[in-house]
Amino acid sequence: MFRYLALFIGLFSLVDSYADNRTTLYDFRYWTSPEHTRIVIDVDEGIKYSIETKSKYINLNVEDAKLLNKTFKKIFFKDKRIYKTNIRREDKVLRMFFRTKRQYNVKSFTLNPNSKYKHHRLVIDLFDKVNEPSSKKSKLETVNKDFKKQPKTSRNIILIDAGHGGEDPGAIGYKKTKEKVVTLQIAKKLANKLNKTNGFRAILTRKGDYYVPLTKRVRIAQANSASLFVSIHADSVDHRSAKGASVYTLSDKGGSTKFAKQLERSQNIVDQFGGVESLIDGDKYLNEILLDFSRKDRDIQSQKLGKKILHQMNKIGYLHKKTPQKAGFVVLKTPAIPSVLVETAFISNPKEERRLKSTKEQNKIANAIYQGILNYYR
């Protein structure tokens, strides 16, 4: 009797598992940038969906889908492009209606799981029509249009790049501090100091929590005729004892040490968050420019800038490396512009993580980079 009862329960469980093989929508996230809004939905593999667009709404249809209760409230999002969201079920189709301020160009794609996201992701981008790039050439024209509206100036233009952003959190500390947050906070403080200094103007590659493709960061520097490019990051390794600041300049041959190669791989990932993005090495336009300028002069000036920044960083804390290191970071491939990537501290070190979260310490770091830039020009 007990044997038959156990067999019945087993068969019932098996049937039940087959009965609920619907696609699960695990989570919703939204990111707003000056140029577009991104909707990200964590889903099961093989999601079947369609998107309908009309003048002022976007309709997402997901076949045979179920929505988790904890995720329901996250759907109802508003920003400068989306002002209302509705949801309803029609037979086996889950329909989401995003009411928009105007008509936008819509693109969608799926991303595979990675080290930071365990689920597959459905990504929907709403692009402002005037900024929608249709080719590599128009991408450059768009950047020029957006950033060359400001009058030309005799001031030194410093491009400050806050690493990561949006769907790309960067490294995550022991206390869940996200690299993308502290890099933006430090970048804003540095930009503020430069903009208050005669002869300098600072421009940020991003001003909020959104993803900017790596090659676009390079194009922003070019479009603004930047004289320096400074990218701000926070290191992370498996060993919590690692500590200190370091500065990297470009190496066309890749990382000069095993640690640099590992860091280079983590920073150059471009298809986990923004879709498939062309790296600079595959960009014909930028490669043509790379052939026309003196790499040697840029590298000498980048090393000089890196040394000046390290000298100041040494005054406020420990240095992981006392001289500038070399690595093949995509964001450093700014033609003819001296460029450095500053690893401010190890966010994987609990003590340094607390330091990176502190407003007082962020000011110290920003000031050290600021003084390094001033001394470079002196």
pLDDT band at 251 (very low <50, low <70, confident <90, very high): confident
User: Can you say whether residue 215 is alpha, beta or left, with left for phi > 0 and alpha for psi between -120 and 50 degrees?
Assistant: alpha
Is the pLDDT reported for residue 357 higher than 90? yes
CB of 156 within 8 A of CB of 228? yes
Q: What is the pTM of this model?
A: 0.79
pLDDT recorded at residue 141: 40
pLDDT recorded at residue 22: 86
Rounded-to-integer distance, Cα 145 and Cα 314, Å: 40
Is the pLDDT reported for residue 143 higher than 80? no
User: Can you say whether residue 167 is alpha, beta or left, with left for phi > 0 and alpha for psi between -120 and 50 degrees?
Assistant: alpha
Task: Provide the 8-state DSSP code for 245.
Answer: B
pLDDT band at 268 (very low <50, low <70, confident <90, very high): very low
Q: Which of 156-160, 169-173, 262-266 is predicted most confidently?
A: 156-160
DSSP class per residue in 286-343: HHHHHTTS-HHHHHHHHHHHHHHHHHHHHHHS-BS-SS-EEE--GGG--TTS-EEEEE
Task: Provide mean pLDDT across the span 362-374.
Answer: 98
User: Can you say whether residue 88 is alpha, beta or left, with left for phi > 0 and alpha for psi between -120 and 50 degrees?
Assistant: beta
Rounded-to-integer distance, Cα 183 and Cα 178, Å: 9
Task: Sketch the domain layout of the chain as residue ranges.
Answer: 21-130, 133-377
CB of 60 within 8 A of CB of 233? no
Token pair belonging to 362:
């962020």
CB of 220 within 8 A of CB of 322? no
Per-residue pLDDT reduced to its tens digit, 307-334: 999 999 999 999 999 999 987 777 677 7
Per-residue pLDDT reduced to its tens digit, 106-140: 999 999 888 788 999 999 999 998 644 444 444 44
Average pLDDT, the chain: 82
Per-residue pLDDT reduced to its tens digit, 9-35: 443 443 333 346 789 999 999 999 999
Architecture category of domain 133-377 in CATH: 3-Layer(aba) Sandwich (3.40)
Rounded-to-integer distance, Cα 191 and Cα 161, Å: 10
Q: Please state which CATH number belongs to domain 21-130.
A: 2.60.40.3500
pLDDT band at 145 (very low <50, low <70, confident <90, very high): very low
Task: Provide mean pLDDT across the span 39-52.
Answer: 94
Question: How many beta carbons lie within 10 A of that of residue 141, not counting itself?
Answer: 13
Q: What share of the chain is helix, strand, coil (3-state, %, to 5)?
A: 35, 30, 35
Type and span of the H or E element at 83? strand 82-90
Question: How many beta carbons lie within 10 A of that of residue 338, not counting itself?
Answer: 24
**Secondary structure string (H, E, C) spanning 132-171:** CCCCHHHHHHHHHHHHCCCCCCCCEEEEEEECCECCECCC
Per-residue pLDDT reduced to its tens digit, 274-314: 544 444 444 444 444 444 445 677 888 999 999 999 999 99
Per-residue pLDDT reduced to its tens digit, 78-111: 899 999 999 999 988 999 999 999 999 999 999 9
Token pair belonging to 121:
């992701």
pLDDT recorded at residue 257: 53
Minimum mean pLDDT range among 42-56, 148-162, 194-208: 148-162
pLDDT recorded at residue 234: 94
CB of 365 within 8 A of CB of 230? no
pLDDT recorded at residue 139: 42
pLDDT band at 190 (very low <50, low <70, confident <90, very high): very high
218: exposed, middle or buried (C-beta count within 10 Å: 0-12, 13-18, 19+)? buried
Task: Provide mean pLDDT across the span 154-181.
Answer: 92
Per-residue pLDDT reduced to its tens digit, 209-235: 999 988 888 889 989 999 999 999 998
Rounded-to-integer distance, Cα 163 and Cα 230, Å: 10
Per-residue pLDDT reduced to its tens digit, 341-356: 999 999 999 999 999 9
pLDDT recorded at residue 134: 44
